Amino acid sequence: MRLPARRAHDLENLFGALETRVLDALWKHSSPQSVRDLHPEFAGVAYTTLMTTLDRLHRKGVLDREKAGRAFVYRPRQTREALLSGLAGDALEAVFGRRASELKPILSFFVETVSREDHESLAALEKLVAERRKAARGDRP
């Protein structure tokens, strides 16, 4: 099952297109997957590119991996929903700083409700957070 287009795009802002596809593929499987297991789902993607992408997601802390024979098998550390919720929490902390922990329960409920009801509003909220982060860093558009 693919992520809905808008949510897949939102993850791509954070992980890149191939990383998002890999996460999506892992979420649809109930057991850990090796590069060899996943490769048939990635027509046109080199085996080594897929291996590098899985390793990169592991180093980012998104995937767990364990040795299975001579290969590694990978599984997501969190469900799609938990990952998005955690990313929303990180965004809150970036915007509100130390006060984020005080506001997190309320804002988490808000984000969860919006994401269930209106993916477009969640995308707009994410855009606002990204713009705020950029302004806080002093980046120029």
* 63 lies in the same domain as 124: no
Quick one: which H or E segment has residue 66? strand 63-68
Secondary structure of residue 141 in the 3-state scheme: coil
Q: Which domain, by its residues, includes 68?
A: 5-76
* 52 lies in the same domain as 85: no
List, for residues 22-34, the tens digit of each pLDDT value.
999 999 998 999 9
Secondary structure of residue 104 in the 3-state scheme: helix
List, for residues 71-89, the tens digit of each pLDDT value.
999 999 998 878 877 777 6
* 72 lies in the same domain as 89: no
List, for residues 101-141, the tens digit of each pLDDT value.
677 677 677 767 766 666 677 777 778 888 888 887 776 55
- Number of domains into which the chain is organized: 2
Secondary structure of residue 34 in the 3-state scheme: strand
List, for residues 46-65, the tens digit of each pLDDT value.
999 999 999 999 999 999 99
Do the Cβ atoms of 64 and 74 come closer than 8 Å? yes
